[in-house]
């Protein structure tokens, strides 16, 4: 069960090698979390992540999970929930794709959409049902500012995150009053493996800063978290810019 401050004792990461997720888990293990499930595509990186968290004192298990295999989600998550309550599910998987390349190769674009959006629809619904059955818990969804307004430079990824974000908001409303809490996290540019080698956007941040914002959001039982917080105001303005102006911005 969560403690009086809303922090989890047990958690499940979907996308178990995500740098943002692992920074979050390290932070929560330093607080109260004891049981960690890392769900992801089997790889040495997944086992290494599990080993590092064990070194911090957590009991860690891995489970095979592929966002692109929605038929397998019931079984993967079922295995975890069958072992005991899960106080927090962190939906962290995602791919950025390569916009220019993916525009020329529609099947690659579909892979971005299927990973980030339909994979999350399936995993999110399966997780929500399990959390509801146990009567408590949080589902934290890593969305992105990219979904707030699709940019010319990455509208394939942006549109997948817009879908994910809308889905997670609706799911949060559906679960309101059930004891299950859904929190949508919208980071800006985060210096992680996903953005390695890319030119930094303004207000760039770190996985550790996102982890800190997630912890605070859990304590406050927030529904939406922007990282950094200033993006909330920036994006409120950007969202309302006329198309003709937005199109000319160097973003
Ligand atoms: N970095 C940023 O600037 C930024 C900003 C806003 C939002 N986000 C979002 O935050 C989340 C985490 O990103 P990150 O920065 O931590 O990136 P990351 O380190 O590259 O993590 C991405 C994760 O997604 C997993 N993944 C990809 N395809 C998968 C699939 N088919 N099935 C299961 N897992 C799959 C990867 O697993 P493998 O090890 O198997 O590849 C990895 O664990 C993503 O949803 C991302 O869109 C990132």
pLDDT, tens digit, for every residue of 49-79?
A: 999 999 999 999 999 999 999 999 999 999 9
Rounded to whole angstroms, how far apart are CA atoms 70 and 241? 37
Query: Where do the structural domains in the chain lie, given as residue ranges?
Result: 10-246
Look at the block and give the residue holding tokens 């997948």. 160
> Is the distance from the beta carbon of residue 13 to the nearest atom of ligand 1 less than 6 Å?
no
Give the mean model confidence (pLDDT) for residues 108-122.
98
Which ligand 1 atom sits nearest the alpha carbon of residue 68?
31
Instruction: Report the separation in Å between the CA atom of 6 and the middle of ligand 1, taken as the mean of its atom positions.
Output: 25
Query: Which three-class secondary structure state does DSSP give residue 183?
Result: strand
Residue 93 phi, psi dihedral angles, 5° rounding? -70, 155
Which ligand 1 atom sits nearest the alpha carbon of residue 194?
20
Instruction: Report the separation in Å between the CA atom of 240 and the middle of ligand 1, taken as the mean of its atom positions.
Output: 29
> Is the distance from the beta carbon of residue 217 to the nearest atom of ligand 1 less than 6 Å?
no
pLDDT in tens, 182-213: 999 999 999 999 999 999 999 999 999 999 99
Which ligand 1 atom sits nearest the alpha carbon of residue 157?
47
Q: Check residue 4 and give its pLDDT.
A: 66
What Cα–Cα distance (Å) separates residue 21 from each residue in 25, 98, 149, 173, 186?
6, 22, 24, 24, 14
Query: Of 154, 28, 25, 14, which Cα lies nearest the Cα of 79?
Result: 14
The two structure tokens encoding residue 44: 């040495």
Q: Which of 37, 65, 81, 157 is the catalytic position?
A: 157
Q: What is the 3-state secondary structure (H, E, C) of 16-37?
A: CCCHHHHHHHHHHHHHCCCEEE
117 tagged catalytic: no
Percent of the chain's residues with pLDDT above 90: 96
Which residues, including other chains, have CB under 8 Å from residue 159's CB and lie 6 or more apart?
113, 147, 150
pLDDT at 81 over 90: yes
Query: Of 126, 94, 129, which Cα lies nearest the Cα of 21?
Result: 94
10-246 CATH, one of 3.40.50.970, 3.40.47.10, 3.20.20.70, 3.40.50.720: 3.40.50.720
Q: Check residue 2 and give its pLDDT.
A: 72
pLDDT in tens, 84-106: 999 999 999 999 999 999 999 99
Which ligand 1 atom sits nearest the alpha carbon of residue 96?
47
| CA-proximal residue: ligand 1, atom 4 (nearest) | 190
pLDDT at 140 over 80: yes
pLDDT at 230 over 80: yes
Instruction: Report the separation in Å between the CA atom of 245 and the middle of ligand 1, taken as the mean of its atom positions.
Output: 31
Rounded to whole angstroms, how far apart are CA atoms 153 and 5? 40
Residue from 18, 41, 110 to probe ligand 1 pocket by mutation (most atoms less than 8 Å from CB):
18
pLDDT in tens, 150-173: 999 999 999 999 999 999 999 999
Q: pTM for the whole thing?
A: 0.97
């Amino acid at each position: 069960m969560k403690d009086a401050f809303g922090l989890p004792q047990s958690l499940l990461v979907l996308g178990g090698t995500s740098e943002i997720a692992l920074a979050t888990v390290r932070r929560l293990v330093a607080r109260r979390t004891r049981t960690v499930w890392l769900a992801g595509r089997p790889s040495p990186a997944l086992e290494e992540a599990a080993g590092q968290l064990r070194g911090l004192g957590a009991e860690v298990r891995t489970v095979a999970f592929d966002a692109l295999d929605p038929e397998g989600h019931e079984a993967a998550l079922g295995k975890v929930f069958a072992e005991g309550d899960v106080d927090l599910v962190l939906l962290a998987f995602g791919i950025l794709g390569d916009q220019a390349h993916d525009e020329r190769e529609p099947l690659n674009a579909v892979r971005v959409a299927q990973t980030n959006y339909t994979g999350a629809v399936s995993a999110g619904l399966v997780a929500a049902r399990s959390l509801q059955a146990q009567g408590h818990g949080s589902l934290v969804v890593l969305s992105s500012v990219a979904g707030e307004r699709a940019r010319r430079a990455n509208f394939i990824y942006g549109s997948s995150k817009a879908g994910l974000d809308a889905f997670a908001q609706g799911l949060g409303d559906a679960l309101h009053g059930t004891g299950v809490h859904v929190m949508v996290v919208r980071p800006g540019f985060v210096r992680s493996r996903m953005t390695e080698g890319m030119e930094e956007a303004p207000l760039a941040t770190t996985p550790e800063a996102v982890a800190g914002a997630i912890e605070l959001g859990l304590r406050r039982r927030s529904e939406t978290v922007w990282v950094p917080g200033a993006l909330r105001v920036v994006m409120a303005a950007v969202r309302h810019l006329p198309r003709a102006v937005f199109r000319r911005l160097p973003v």
